[in-house]
Structure 1
Amino acid sequence: MTPTSLRLVAHGHTTALRRARFGGTDDGLDEGGLRAALAQARVESGRRGHLSVDDACLSSPAAAATQTAYAFGLRPTIDAALADCDYGDWTGRSFEEIAVEQPQALHEWLSTPDSAPHGGESVAAVRDRVGRWLDGQRARGQRIITVTHPLVIRVAIVHALDLPIATYRQVDVEPLAVVRLTSQGARWQLRLTAPRAG
Structure 2
Amino acid sequence: MALRVTFVAAARSSPLLGERFGEDRPLDQAGWDEVLRAAPDLLPLAAAELRYCSPTPRSRATGDALGYAPLVQLALRECDMGRWHGLTIGEAMAREPAAVDAWLSDPRAAPHGGESLLALITRVGGWLDTRPGGDGDRLVAVAEPSVIQAALVYALNAPPASYWNLDVRPLSVTTVTGGAGRWHLRLEAVRVQPSRR
TM-score by length of 2: 0.90
Determine the structure 1 residue equivalent to 2:150.
155
- Going from structure 1 to structure 2, the CA distance change for 1:147 and 1:90 (only over 3 Å counts) comes to same
Determine the structure 2 residue equivalent to 1:111.
105
Determine the structure 1 residue equivalent to 2:164.
169
Determine the structure 2 residue equivalent to 1:34.
32
Structure 1 runs (4+) deviating above 4 angstroms are none
Q: Unaligned regions of 5+ residues in structure 2, if any? A: none
- Going from structure 1 to structure 2, the CA distance change for 1:96 and 1:143 (only over 3 Å counts) comes to same
CA distance in 2, matches of 1:14, 1:85: 18
- Going from structure 1 to structure 2, the CA distance change for 1:184 and 1:133 (only over 3 Å counts) comes to closer
Determine the structure 2 residue equivalent to 1:4.
3
What aligned pairs does 1:91-106 form with structure 2 within 5 A after superposition?
Answer: 91-106=85-100
Determine the structure 2 residue equivalent to 1:120.
114
Q: Unaligned regions of 5+ residues in structure 1, if any? A: none
Matched-pair contact (CA < 8 Å) for 1:16–1:23 = no
CA RMSD of aligned residues (A): 1.8
Identity percentage of aligned residues? 38
Matched-pair contact (CA < 8 Å) for 1:90–1:98 = yes
1:119 Cα shift? 0.9
Determine the structure 1 residue equivalent to 2:177.
182
2:123 corresponds, among 129, 135, 138, to 129
Superposed CA offset, 1:137-157 (max 9, x none): 275431100011111111111
CA distance in 1, matches of 2:122, 2:179: 22
Superposed CA offset, 1:65-116 (max 9, x none): 1101012111110111111111111111111111111111111111111111
Determine the structure 1 residue equivalent to 2:12.
13
TM-score by length of 1: 0.89
CA distance in 1, matches of 2:192, 2:49: 24
SS of 2:191's equivalent in the other structure is coil
CA distance in 2, matches of 1:174, 1:66: 17
SS of 1:107's equivalent in the other structure is helix
CA distance in 1, matches of 2:92, 2:167: 21
CA distance in 2, matches of 1:186, 1:109: 27
SS of 1:52's equivalent in the other structure is helix
Residues 1:90 and 2:88 are matched in the alignment? no
Matched-pair contact (CA < 8 Å) for 1:70–1:76 = yes
Matched-pair contact (CA < 8 Å) for 2:129–2:179 = no
Which one-letter code corresponds to 1:187 in the other structure? R
Which one-letter code corresponds to 2:138 in the other structure? R
